[in-house]
Structure 1
Amino acid sequence: PDLWRRVRPASSLPAHLALKAVQAQAAEGGAPDLGDRSILMIRRAFFEQGRDISAASVLDEVLADAGADLADVHARLARGEAHAALMADYQEAQALGVKGSPSLVLNEGRQTLYGNVGFRVIEANIAELLREPQAGSASWC
């Protein structure tokens, strides 16, 4: 009930950077589900527990509980590796025309569903793509 009233992170950027470091860790031999588990635990820390996910100490606690190697996460942050990965994601989003979250980019970027889109709209778009999967075909959605 106090979300956004009592706890207002200054930015979500520290969480995104930490998650990019954890995802790299998972990709290089860490637990395969470490990235997904970390994302879920950070979301729960903010949305369910009302914790400030812009604070390094909170992120360290959450990521340690998720099973991340904090020394490795800090090293990836210090080297700028996580920053480069997050910037690559940002540049890809710009290239695809993604305006925000959630966004579903379909049909090699020719269709974008953005925002509070109902599942029937998503279903109709995917069904139409599956109905006529030939490249260059017009979509009715």
Structure 2
Amino acid sequence: MRIDIFQDMVCPWCRIGKTNLYRALEMRGGEPPELRWRAFMLDPSVPEEGLPFMRTMQQKYGEQFSHEGMLGRVTEAGRSVGLTFDFRKVEYMPNTRLSHRMTAIAPDEFKAPLVDAIHRAYFEEGRNIGDRAVLMRIAEETGLDANDLADRLDRGEGEAEIEEDFEMAKRIGITGVPFFIIGRKFGLSGAQPPEAFLNVFRRLEEQA
């Protein structure tokens, strides 16, 4: 079974959604699926140097975007599935293109741990994941060869892969993430609970 996961590194619901997917896969057991991490950028207009986090998001969402409002609800949703979100440490709204390229060229066995590490660095530690040096340190912490990754990024590797993801999302009609395509047949949108994934797994088994 293949699962395509469209997500962005600055999307807290993507972090919650993939955690629920992991939990559903543990409950299902059996042979592990093939996970394909697909790039999606919630705001491609963010410059490479990033933008101030709170000011940018309050301009977009208004007064409801606060630690007591929208961020508080996200924090509580994360806590319910065992995740920590500390938005008081988040200073930047980064451009996520480089982090997607890095994930695209990482060996398959490192992709999921790398995405997890980038999410943790941003949402728990407030690190600027739009900064190349920060991403290289995260890669090293995940067990990757940062020098090799840097050389490959300098050669433009990963660009074609993420552009293919962007085109695929556009063709399918994906306008928000997380979005999961399971078994190349069923789509799930949003941070669905584990039961939603299990229902899809059962439907695929019944069809098989």
Q: Same fold (TM over 0.5)?
A: yes
In structure 2, the CA distance between the partners of 1:66 and 1:108, relative to structure 1 (3 Å rule), is closer
RMSD value, Cα: 2.5
Residue of structure 1 in register with 2:204 after alignment:
129
Indicate the structure with greater strand content.
2
Checking the alignment, whether the CA contact within 8 Å between 1:12 and 1:54 is kept in structure 2 is yes
Report whether the alignment pairs 1:36 with 2:112: yes
Checking the alignment, whether the CA contact within 8 Å between 1:99 and 1:114 is kept in structure 2 is no
Aligned counterpart in structure 2 of residue 93 of structure 1, from 147, 169, 180: 169
Residue of structure 2 in register with 1:80 after alignment:
156
- The structure with the largest alpha-carbon Rg is 1
Residue of structure 2 in register with 1:138 after alignment:
none
Checking the alignment, whether the CA contact within 8 Å between 1:96 and 1:105 is kept in structure 2 is no
Aligned counterpart in structure 2 of residue 9 of structure 1, from 93, 96, 118: 93
Residue of structure 2 in register with 1:120 after alignment:
195
Checking the alignment, whether the CA contact within 8 Å between 1:105 and 1:112 is kept in structure 2 is yes
In structure 2, the CA distance between the partners of 1:16 and 1:118, relative to structure 1 (3 Å rule), is same
Checking the alignment, whether the CA contact within 8 Å between 2:87 and 2:126 is kept in structure 1 is yes
**Relative contact order (C-alpha < 8 Å, sep 6+): which is higher?**
2
Q: CA deviation at 1:58?
A: 0.9
Q: Which runs of 4 or more aligned residues in structure 1 lie more than 4 Å from their structure 2 counterparts after TM superposition?
A: none
Q: For structure 1, which runs of at least 5 residues remain unmatched after alignment?
A: 28-32, 134-141
Q: TM-score, structure 1 length as denominator?
A: 0.70
In structure 2, the CA distance between the partners of 1:100 and 1:4, relative to structure 1 (3 Å rule), is farther
